Structure 1
Amino acid sequence: MRIVAVGLALVLLSGCVGPGDLAKNEPTMSVTSSKDPKAYALCVFPQWQNARTDSSMVETQTGFRLLVASNNMADELLEVKKTAAGSFAVLYQRMAWSKMMGRSAIEAAVKSCR
């Protein structure tokens, strides 16, 4: 019985997609901005929150990371890094071909805040 429980737990956990897993994929889009990473992230984040309430933002050593996750899976990941001219942002999406809830607004925010 214990083996069955461990096997079931492994199967359930294998479906999880974290931010690191998303970043291994090809990016859906990338943009450059004359804004510094903080200003760019603070422009994008409220729009992401309007589109998906499960959005979060954290500061990293190189800039900012915005994340939308649902059901223990990362759906959208935006990495914003500092450059000499401002910032560079890369958007990664789980199942980029899928039209998930709020996805068009999330993509529009990445483009509009340049």
Structure 2
Amino acid sequence: MKLAVVVLALAMTGCATVADIEHTLPTMSVISGKNPQEYAECFVARIADSRKPPQIEPHREGLRVIVPQKFASSEPTAIVDIEKRSAGGSSIKLFESGGNNPLRPKDIQHAVNACISGE
């Protein structure tokens, strides 16, 4: 039964592109005292056990982390935009494919939260 729920959840999310994901509403919007590079390093380390390595690229005044799906090697499932704040630190926005799906894995959200203050 649990396997059927997982398969159904995966089918509901489908294959999304970076453009599709970035045009959704953010599922989280937070601020950190870390600069974009420090925050990205923390985030990547936090999801290393549950995901393949994400793609990191420059984006506006900071970095964009493109997170792959858990089961498909190259399909994106989330985008974390980390922008430098003029007052110091970073502004972080998380965009997720299937962000309204309650059955989606929470490892990305947990990593975003854990890296805010430097836990």
How far is the alpha carbon of 1:82 from its aligned partner? 0.5
Instruction: Describe the superposition over 1:37-85 as per-residue Cα deviations: whole angstroms up to 9, x where unpaired.
Output: 1111111011122221152222334211111234564211101001022
TM-score (norm 2): 0.72
Show structure 1 runs of 5+ residues with no match. Answer: 1-14
Q: Which has the higher helix share?
A: 1
Q: Name the CA shift for 1:58/1:49 in 2 (closer, same or farther; >3 Å).
A: farther
Aligned match of 2:10:
none
**Corresponding pairs, count:** 98
Aligned match of 2:36:
37
Report the 3-state secondary structure (helix = DSSP H, G, I; strand = E; otherwise coil) of the residue aligned with 1:41.
helix
Of residues 68, 75, 78 in structure 2, which corresponds to 1:76? 78
Aligned match of 1:92:
95
Percentage of identical aligned residues: 27
Return structure 1 stretches of 4+ with deviation > 6 angstroms.
none
Q: Letter of the aligned partner of 1:80 in structure 2?
A: I
Show structure 2 runs of 5+ residues with no match. Answer: 1-13
Q: Which has the higher strand share?
A: 1
Aligned match of 1:104:
106
Between stretches 91-100 and 18-27, larger displacement belongs to 91-100
Report the 3-state secondary structure (helix = DSSP H, G, I; strand = E; otherwise coil) of the residue aligned with 2:66.
strand
